[in-house]
Structure 1
């Protein structure tokens, strides 16, 4: 009888921990809708970071706008931005401190640190790193390399973007390792003129989750993903997902409308899903 009580007590102590560990990573390859929703959050977070740093750089390098410290999309008094030059290296630091809310309503903390030989000239590589940086509870680690060229005929900025980033979601919702090789075009306008900034991206993204799920995202130049900065969302373009065990499906962001809807197609069947 004593042995039975000991077994029951051991199970009572052990099972809650087992149950909790099973709940930590609930996204599976068999659930493309849930996996897609979370990956869209990651994709849009990365685009948001890119646009936010560009806005901070513009304000820092433009004396007239720097006096106000206000951007169109992200920056108010948050974050504190510093810019330094030494030995041919430029360093831009966005310091969100223990946490502050930007114009977009998102709460950020920690630092983003961007270094380059030049922010003003075309062809220089920029390196973006993170120091205890978090967005709405999501922790971002790793680095992003970006090299920009400028076409004086089309007035388009084009960048090659290489990402090696780890994102940790709050509430035990998983850890995502992301390796991306993208081409990104920018349509940027001066603040306050009433025209929206947008970014077009295409290329490949390799994603590995903590629970072993691996998949690749492919975006073609003919149908790039378009991120509308004022909307803070992807609004058009098609992404193809392929998992390491051969499953595949696609996500169509639509016609450019700023909403949280997209069309997921798998095995010839399509349905409209809400992204977040």
Structure 2
């Protein structure tokens, strides 16, 4: 259980961040601030939503060619999302996912989504599987996500230990917010460490995420996010299914660096909540509240 430390002004809120008219950092600022953490979390949320959807819809459309027995696959998409199989051929599958309308977005894991995600991949049983992910007027909480990313799926282990590992490679992906444009490059690797053999229900699904990537802020500052494989971010799908969704890591550590300065975000020890502990340049850790 995370120890609650109250510190006025240190409560981190993504909603509060979006209300700001400009990035609080300046090009000459050296420390990593709570607003830097908020901006990175905003893009993390958007990328994680997309990669989770890509994983799920791959399974729905590919079926037993994943190496599993033939079962029904649970779709995580809300009812307000529609699927169109457009431009597919014998060897290539093209799926367009449309979220809501321009006036009425969809709600997914507590986030507001609208626009389209286009998934394009080859059809077959040979691994790794490669898929490109593109976007058409796609928004997460009114923030526009653009660019082309690459999704790679591998299968690890065998028998009861069989599970997928996916790598989401981002090259020049952008998130446009009220504060400006944020650019993301790098890799996020996610392994499904539990729940793969019970795909009819998502309640026991657990994911482990790690990798290194950079985020360039509107003012030109470049931040490096490091998630070690020894302390990966752990996400439980069950946390997304509670009445108030908590689509945040339940444990794991992220190190966010700029030049010689850094912050460490510790997501705790397994609880479904929106709390984390933030330490800047090795200082005292303070509790922060994660937002949408």
Give TM-score scaled by structure 1 length.
0.79
Cross-structure match for 1:129 = 134
1:258 aligns with 2:272: yes
Q: CA deviation at 1:79?
A: 2.9
**2: CA distance between counterparts of 1:83 and 1:54?**
19
* 8 Å contact kept, 1:237–1:254: yes
Does the C-alpha gap of structure 1 residues 222 and 104 become closer, same or farther in structure 2, counting only changes over 3 Å?
A: closer
Secondary structure at 1:163's aligned position in 2?
A: strand
1:113-151 deviation per Cα after TM superposition (whole angstroms, max 9, x unaligned): 111112765312111011111122010001221211112
Secondary structure at 2:93's aligned position in 1?
A: strand
* 8 Å contact kept, 1:163–1:179: yes
Does the C-alpha gap of structure 1 residues 82 and 75 become closer, same or farther in structure 2, counting only changes over 3 Å?
A: farther
Cross-structure match for 2:149 = 144
In the TM superposition, what are the counterparts of 1:105-254 in structure 2 within 5 Å? Answer: 105-118=110-123, 121-153=126-158, 154-164=161-171, 165-169=173-177, 172-187=178-193, 188-189=195-196, 190=198, 192-193=200-201, 195-229=203-237, 230=240, 231-244=246-259, 246-254=260-268
**2: CA distance between counterparts of 1:103 and 1:240?**
27
1:161-181 deviation per Cα after TM superposition (whole angstroms, max 9, x unaligned): 211210012xx2232101122
Which has the larger helix fraction?
1
Does the C-alpha gap of structure 1 residues 123 and 61 become closer, same or farther in structure 2, counting only changes over 3 Å?
A: closer
**1: CA distance between counterparts of 2:116 and 2:220?**
29
Report the number of matched residues. Answer: 248
The root-mean-square deviation of aligned C-alpha atoms, in Å, is 2.6
Q: Which runs of 5+ in 1 are unaligned?
A: 1-21
Give TM-score scaled by structure 2 length.
0.75
Q: CA deviation at 1:26?
A: 2.7
Q: Which runs of 5+ in 2 are unaligned?
A: 1-19, 64-69, 241-245
* 8 Å contact kept, 2:170–2:186: yes
Does the C-alpha gap of structure 1 residues 80 and 161 become closer, same or farther in structure 2, counting only changes over 3 Å?
A: closer
Say which is worse superposed, 250-259 or 192-201, in terms of deviation.
192-201
1:198-250 deviation per Cα after TM superposition (whole angstroms, max 9, x unaligned): 32111211110111121101111100112223242111110111103x21121
Does the C-alpha gap of structure 1 residues 194 and 50 become closer, same or farther in structure 2, counting only changes over 3 Å?
A: closer
